[in-house]
Amino acid sequence: MSGKLFIVATPIGNLEDLTPRARKTLAEVDLVAAEDTRHTGRLLSHIGVKAPLLALHDHNEAQAVSSVIAALESGKSIALVSDAGTPLVSDPGYRLVQAAHAHSIVVSPIPGPCAVTAALSVAGLPTDRFCFEGFLPAKQAARRQVLDTLCRESRTLVFYESVHRITAVLEDMCAAFGDGRLAFIGRELTKLHEQCVQGTLGSLAVKVRDAAIVRKGEFVIVVAGSDEIAESSLEVDRLLVALNEHLSAKDAARVAADATGLKRNDVYKRLMVIRG
């Protein structure tokens, strides 16, 4: 019988956020696959757990996967952890999980901290639909291009950012989304110097520039989705008209909203305008 692969979330700052089930799992597995074995070694000794560690990071994932799969197939149970938060969320691990499914190995989540959900829970922006963009490109031209493609996205947007680029990224966001767009910055979430600030992109950029939001540590930026359907959105209009020939206006708006990611209300209003 193959062992089980557990994907274990660990704290994003505050060690008390490790769940009892995560602790129990780390104590019971035969092996812990970790992004950084020294970092995870410190976490394990903090919680009084001794477990053999194996490195699995971006640079060795391809090779490490075969030894982890071999160990699982020999009946060993394994926990995958990253340096912080939920593995696979802007962290290594998806190749391992993919291989485990391909080998019919049971994969089980041990959920817990994640900077995306921590930030969304306090951002005060709609969370019924959101779009996780992770880290933006480091180079400004590529970053601006990505932001330009997102400027009409109606879902709430979530970005990870490091201290090195936070000022430049906020300026680029002001340029792409407009400085009046509502947004949120979560800095050092769950840690001693945590800051959670909502404001327009313009006001957040000023606060970062003036160090009212300290330029240290780790950041999540949450940006409200666009609430405009551009007049030039011919494809959406065509889709709506075609759907409305076979469906009620309400159903046409629902299907078009699902297909485009736009808000149902906005699509319905647009249909009313088109129909005159």
Which residues form the interface with ligand SAM (CB under 6 A)?
12-13, 82, 84-86, 89-91, 114-116, 160-162, 186, 188-191, 218-220
Q: How far is the CB of 161 from ligand SAM (least distance, A)?
A: 5
* Inter-residue contact 99 to 202 (CB < 8 Å): no
- Name the residue nearer to ligand SAM (CB basis): 12 or 255: 12
Q: Specify the residue, 160 or 270, whose C-beta has the smaller distance to ligand SAM.
A: 160
**Cα–Cα nearest to 124, from 164, 169, 156, 163:** 156
Residue 250, SS3? helix
Residue 133 CB, nearest approach to ligand SAM (Å)? 11
Per DSSP (E only), the strands in the chain are 5-8, 31-34, 53-55, 78-81, 107-110, 130-135, 156-162, 182-187, 195-200, 218-223
- Give the CB-nearest residue to ligand SAM: 85
Of residues 114 and 123, the one with the C-beta less far from ligand SAM: 114
| Neighbouring C-beta atoms of residue 271, cutoff 10 Å | 20
Cβ 39 to ligand SAM shortest distance, Å: 12
Residue closer to ligand SAM by CB (options 115, 256) is 115
- State the nearest-atom distance from the C-beta of 185 to ligand SAM, in Å: 9
Beta bridge partners of 7: 80, 109
Nearer to ligand SAM, 82 or 226 (CB): 82
Rounded distance between C-alpha atoms, residue 118 and residue 59, angstroms: 28
Rounded least distance, CB 117 to ligand SAM, Å: 8
Q: Which is nearer to ligand SAM, 150 or 222 (CB)?
A: 222
Contact 52/41 with Cβ under 8 angstroms? no
**Distance in Å, CB of 217 to ligand SAM, minimum:** 7
Residue that the structure tokens 């003036």 belong to? 210
Query: ∠ CA 78-62-94 to the nearest 5 degrees?
Result: 60
